[in-house]
Amino acid sequence: MSQSITKICEDFISELDQAIGKQSSESIFILTDENTKKLCLPIALQSEILKGCHVICIQSGDENKNLDSAVAIWKYLSENGATRKSLMINLGGGMITDIGGFTASTFKRGIRYINVSTTLLGAVDAATGGKTGINFSGLKNEIGVFAPAETVLINIDFFKTLDDANLRSGYAEMLKHALIETQEEWEKVLKYDLERLDLSELKVLLAKSIQIKERIVELDPLEINIRKALNLGHTFGHAFESWSYSANKPVLHGYAVMWGLLCELYLSLIKLNFPKEELLRLKYLSKEYYGTFEFSCKEYEEIFELMTHDKKNNSKDINFTLLANVGDIRINQTATKEEIFECFDWFREG
């Protein structure tokens, strides 16, 4: 399975034109949501190649990354003459690149698609790596395929449209990548000042974060072995995120990942002796920038049940990626229900 070509753009329109190639505008379909249609689409449409292209707009929010939206996209493609030679451009954050990649890679058994990431979270997480998917039956990314974008373009200028919460959401994934890399990278990312958006500094950290992910994906594109390292924080995190939607208290993906990182590093502490001082550094940062995630002991069983449905599980055991130290990755770890509930207790104690 070939990898995407990922570019952090210097000249967005010329690099977009180069990625599109000689495609006829009549067979180009741009997928957006309500936010990116308003804030980002006008910039993309400065490309002469995109004059007269089709624009598909779906509702924003991860709760709309579902089968109904996928059917609407397939229907639009079918009714507007899309063929196997058509091109889809997914212009948006992780929700758009996930569902856009999934619908493009399954329509007529697969059409070309390009991801143009407009959020920090999307750039560091969903846009690269070839995972596509939709949520189903209350579970995150339950339906999907491995199908990398032909090209991933990241225009840092789009990040100026993001609020603090969405920047912090993306930063959580960067922290995860640093944790599985080296102590040096961990220190660098921890030092980034979230209160002051320095795009040039962020660009350097982002490039390294994407490089970490792409190196791992290249080694194990179908997540049979080391790619599971990228799931650090996500077994708890996805359960927290899914539960937040079912409880009508939705949280951003990166926030759920941050809280999942805390729980999984605590689990790493009790099972693998992960350094307590590093866990406490993350806990302090989380409290300052991400606040708390409110749930009671009455919800433990429900959240635990969501964890049992995680895609990473190979048997009745819940599968975790844990760390013995920063950069010391241990995949295919398991924990008892009692240990998981202990993590919930520790997390809620603040």
Tokens of 178: 């640093």
Q: What is the pLDDT of residue 2?
A: 64
Measured CA to CA, the distance from residue 14 to residue 17 in angstroms comes to 5
Q: What is the CATH number of the domain that holds 288?
A: 1.20.1090.10
Q: What is the pLDDT of residue 316?
A: 74
CA dist 266 and 273 (Å) reads 9
257 and 288 together in one domain? yes
3-state secondary structure (DSSP) of residue 102: helix
pLDDT at 74: 98
Q: Are residues 102 and 246 in the same domain?
A: no
pLDDT in tens, 134-166: 999 988 889 999 999 999 999 999 999 999 999
Q: Are strands 112-117 and 151-154 parallel, antiparallel or unpaired?
A: parallel
DSSP-based three-state secondary structure for 318: coil
pLDDT at 68: 97
Q: Do 236 and 93 share a structural domain?
A: no
Task: Provide the 8-state DSSP code for 124.
Answer: I
Shared-domain flag, residues 59 and 177: no
Which domain does 62 fall in, by range?
5-161
Query: 281-324 pLDDT, tens per residue?
Result: 999 999 999 999 999 999 999 999 999 987 677 667 899 999 99
Instruction: Read off φ and ψ for residue 38, nearest 5 degrees.
Output: -80, -45
User: Of 136, 161, 186, at which residue does a domain stop?
Assistant: 161
Q: Which residue type, as a one-letter code, is found at position 340?
A: I
User: Do residues 174 and 214 share a domain?
Assistant: yes
- Torsions phi, psi for 142 (to 5 deg): -70, -30
Under 8 Å between Cβ of 177 and 233: no
- How many angstroms separate the Cα of 289 from the Cα of each of 164, 248, 309? 9, 22, 29
Query: How many domains are there within the chain?
Result: 2
Can you list the positions of beta strands (E) in the chain?
5-8, 28-33, 54-58, 87-92, 112-117, 134-136, 139-143, 151-154, 320-325, 328-333
Helical H segments across 54-179, by residue range: 67-79, 94-106, 120-121, 164-179
Please name the residues in contact with 193: beta carbons below 8 A apart, sequence gap of 6 or more: none
Kindly tell me the sign of the dihedral angle through the C-alpha atoms of 264, 141, 186, 166: negative
Domain CATH for 120: 3.40.50.1970
Beta carbons within 8 Å of 156's beta carbon, 6+ residues apart: 8, 9, 199, 202, 203, 206
- Same domain assignment for residues 200 and 147: no
- Going by their DSSP bridges, the two strands 87-92 and 54-58 should be labelled as unpaired
User: Residue 305 has what pLDDT?
Assistant: 95
Query: Same structural domain for residues 104 and 55?
Result: yes
Write down which residue in 142, 161, 180 finishes a domain.
161
Cβ atoms < 10 Å from Cβ of 133: 21
Instruction: Say yes or no: 63 and 196 in one domain.
Output: no
The answer to whether residues 125 and 190 belong to one domain is no
Residue appearing with tokens 């804030």: 39
Cβ contacts of residue 222 below 8 Å, gap of 6+? 1, 146
Tell me which residue of 162, 229, 169, 223 sits closest to 197, measured CA to CA.
162
179/328 same-domain check: yes
Q: Where are the beta strands (DSSP E) in 180-312?
A: none
Is the same domain home to 179 and 312? yes
Percent of the chain whose predicted confidence (pLDDT) is above 70: 98
| 171 touches 202 (CB < 8 A) | no
**What radius of gyration do the chain's Cα atoms show?**
20
Question: Are both 154 and 174 inside the same structural domain?
Answer: no
* Phi, then psi, of 61 in degrees rounded to 5: 105, 140
CA atoms within 13 A on the CB side of 170: 28
Q: What is the mean pLDDT of each run of 10 residues along the chain (350 residues)?
A: 83 97 94 97 97 97 95 98 97 96 97 96 90 92 94 95 95 98 98 92 96 94 94 96 94 97 98 98 96 96 92 77 98 96 95
The DSSP output letter for 223 is: S
Last residue of a domain, which of 133, 161, 189?
161
